[in-house]
A and B are shown apart, each in its own frame.
Chain A
Amino acid sequence: MGFFNKLVSGLTKTRDNLVNQIKSVLSGKKISEELFEELEEILIVADVGVASTMEIMDNVRERCKTEKAKDGEDVEKILKEEIRDLLGDKEELVPPNTKPWVIMVVGVNGVGKTTTIGKLAAKFSNEGKKVVLAAGDTFRAAAAEQLEIWAKRADAQLISQKEGSDPAAVAYDAIQAAKSRKADVLIIDTAGRLHTKSNLMDELKKMYRVVNREMPDAPHDVLLVIDATTGQNGLSQAKVFKEATEVNGIALTKLDGTAKGGIVVAIKSELGIPVKLIGVGEGIDDLQTFDPDQFIDALFGE
């Protein structure tokens, strides 16, 4: 299956609901308060959130007036433009000038950090890059084993210590190993943690500090993994993780279900963190670059 087809097929299930809803709402309809309310409902059900939905719809209403929108299709166009504005330009993971390229992956429990790292490692390996993975989740039972299996699949090297050891020490080891082995990319896994646990967030800050101390411009990227089924709590997660580790991108996982992942619209608009990657399946190549145009087109069924 081609790259684009995979993305579209991944998003198809996601968009089916929305598409059907949007079409049924918009087709042949006159502009009315009822129409706006129905659009509001669709955004809310997509987990865009009350505040962002209100903001989007206020702008849509305003523009419908000034631009003299005539029917449902005009409204759709305006609505798409508004969401597109909030999502901003396409942003990819860009390698820095120095090596190794250090990427830290953070997030709450169960969002798919390790799987995302496995896929990302495979992608880099396929590009001919030398990849080192750091098993920074020293807490969860068998987390290092899980990463080890992915490392084998992706043809990457693994740096790990025994369960319960200090994750900052793992990060330190990994940086040294990545440097001495002249690796192109170092991806650091971290234990899932709820952003409300201040001691665990401190532990993460410490990892970040150690990485930064050993390599002043690192980590070059900090990816926050967000599960597409996440509701409004995603905002809270993004806010706290950003404060702790300078998160500069989101990997939106599990988009192959029926969840719409609309929370990323709110996260981008409130906190300015762009989505860079999306996960559309469990296969090793089911990680895609996030493209806002395709994302919206897929949402609106084009």
Chain B
Amino acid sequence: MFENLAEKLQNTFANLKRRGKLTEKDVDLALKEVRLALLEADVNYKVVKKFTERVRERAIGEEVLKSLTPAQQVVKIVYDELTILMGGTTAQLNLSHSPSVIMLVGLQGAGKTTTAGKLAKNIKERGRRPLLVACDIYRPAAIKQLQVVGGQVEVEVFSQENQKPVGIADAALKYANKNGFDVVIIDTAGRLHIDEELMQELIDIKSAVEPQEILFIADAMTGQDAVNVADSFNKNLEISGVVLTKMDGDARGGAALSIREVVGKPIKFVSFGEKLDSLEPFHPDRMASRILGMGDLNTILEKAQKAIDEKEAAAMVQKITTDDFNLEDFYEQMQQMKKMGPLDQLLGMVPGMNKLKGQANFETAEKEMKQIEAIINSMTPNERRKPAIIDASRKKRIANGAGVRVQDVNKLLKQFNETKKLMRQFGGLGGKGKRKMGMPFFN
């Protein structure tokens, strides 16, 4: 019952694929499931209605009937419409002014302060000089929290005691001008969209500092009410974009679709965790393919590129295509994989692995990884290079050294040989093979 939207649609279309040619009835049946899946994913009721009508219009008719693989075409239509719904192309942050002013607004607990820290880090990495401004004078220790976060990303935090938020924002802007800060990030207190007094405060801050960006921070776990909240903030403040937080959970994230459709403003960032470098640009196409269970290959590729030294990778491919691939190389690969981030995050982005994400035991996988490391560490260099020489007595020694059973060593060697076989098949695929390295080990 905790299937996510991606899985649900995947199942829907898996059925369609088996049915061959599409009829109007098939499309309706599929859309009924799409509709349910979207509702379960917390997409707003009205947005779902609009969306399914749009897909139906496009799906039924010539286009589909002429196609050789009708099911694929429906998948594509759903994907296209989802992409359109979420904003077409990636939206950039407007940092053209000096200082550029960014205001963060939203409900309590959406993740504004954490996002402020992440944004500061992100902007700093672009070579700009951000200043964080603490305007949440209400929540106990909120200013302290921003100061700690600011310290972690090494960005100065501006705060004033016994001042109203409007005064603080105003003073911060002057301070930024004087001291050469070229981006000002204003963290505001969380508030209910129906709290008129506090909404007025935001309106006052807005007119005092004239921000280029007003980012609405939204929790990816939000339900049907997301549209009311976003709409209300937008009507009062004319927001410029949205940041979707807590995307590292298993929330289906339908709020993303709802908010985008209702306020018509782009989602500019998605935030994946509590670490301050987990802010990523929002790519509607990636999100759509993620929703459809096609996986978020682009993101994983980017991560891989960051983590893996290109020369090393090229050398590795060379090795794989020849017969030289040995346990030393495999060990290397595992280290590189580890650099890419926690397994569960990575797997969520791989096509077909979404299913795993829900139930799979990453603990087991990570433990297994550690065990493999220990086993390889207990081998002599020669054994790593030529696994074939590992006989019974060597196995016993290795097992003792690694604190595992001989069966575990056997298992590793068997898996290694299978992987090696598989790798050779991938060899011909070039780039694609690179990405999949190592994965067959985690069965």
**Chain A residues within 8 Å of B, Cβ to Cβ:** 13, 41, 44-47, 49-51, 108-112, 118, 139-143, 145-146, 148-150, 163, 194-199, 202, 227-236, 239, 254, 256-260, 263, 270, 282
User: B224 to A44, Cβ gap below 8 A?
Assistant: yes
Chain B residues with CB under 8 A of A140: 145, 274
User: A50 to B222, Cβ gap below 8 A?
Assistant: no
- Closest chain B residue to A153, Cβ basis: B140
* Between-chain CB contacts (< 8 Å), 19 pairs: A47-B224, A109-B111, A109-B246, A141-B113, A141-B147, A196-B249, A199-B363, A227-B109, A229-B225, A231-B224, A231-B252, A232-B41, A232-B42, A233-B42, A233-B221, A233-B252, A235-B1, A256-B192, A259-B225
Chain B residues with CB under 8 A of A254: 107-109, 192
Chain B: minimal CB distance from A21 (Å): 12
Chain B residues with CB under 8 A of A41: 45
Q: Does B22 contact A (CB under 8 A)?
A: no
Chain B: minimal CB distance from A197 (Å): 8
Q: Does B208 contact A (CB under 8 A)?
A: no
Partner of A109, one of B192, B223, B274: B274
User: A108 to B141, Cβ gap below 8 A?
Assistant: no
Q: Taking A44-B224, A231-B255 as given, write out 19 further A-B residue pairs in contact, using a Cβ cutoff of 8 Å, ordered by the A residue number.
A: A47-B223, A50-B39, A110-B110, A110-B219, A112-B109, A141-B148, A143-B145, A145-B140, A163-B148, A194-B246, A196-B344, A197-B344, A198-B344, A198-B361, A227-B109, A228-B225, A230-B221, A254-B109, A257-B107
Partner of B144, one of A49, A142, A229: A142
- A150 in contact with B42 given A233-B252, A236-B250, A257-B194 (CB within 8 Å): no
**Chain B residues within 8 Å of A, Cβ to Cβ:** 1-2, 36, 39-42, 44-45, 107-111, 113, 138-142, 144-149, 152, 192-194, 219, 221-226, 228-229, 246, 248-252, 254-255, 274, 344, 361-363
- A231 in contact with B222 given A142-B144, A257-B194 (CB within 8 Å): yes
Chain B: minimal CB distance from A277 (Å): 17
- A108 in contact with B221 given A141-B145, A198-B363 (CB within 8 Å): yes
Chain B residues with CB under 8 A of A260: 224-225
Chain A residues with CB under 8 A of B223: 47, 229-232, 234, 259, 263
User: A258 to B148, Cβ gap below 8 A?
Assistant: no
User: A51 to B111, Cβ gap below 8 A?
Assistant: no
Question: Which 5 pairs from chain A and chain B are nearest by CB?
Answer: A231-B223, A110-B109, A141-B148, A231-B42, A149-B140
User: A44 to B149, Cβ gap below 8 A?
Assistant: no
User: B109 to A109, Cβ gap below 8 A?
Assistant: yes
Distance of A44 Cα from B148 Cα, bound (Å):
40
User: A13 to B2, Cβ gap below 8 A?
Assistant: no
- A231 in contact with B229 given A45-B45, A50-B40, A196-B249 (CB within 8 Å): no
- Closest chain A residue to B113, Cβ basis: A141
Chain B residues with CB under 8 A of A139: 274
Chain B: minimal CB distance from A158 (Å): 12
Chain B residues with CB under 8 A of A234: 221, 223
Partner of B249, one of A108, A149, A256, A263: A108
Distance of A146 Cα from B146 Cα, bound (Å):
12
- A258 in contact with B2 given A141-B149, A196-B344, A231-B42 (CB within 8 Å): no
Chain A residues with CB under 8 A of B219: 110, 227, 229
Chain B residues with CB under 8 A of A142: 141-142, 144-145, 147-148
Most chain B C-beta atoms within 10 Å of own C-beta, residue among A51, A141, A202: A141
- Closest chain A residue to B37, Cβ basis: A50
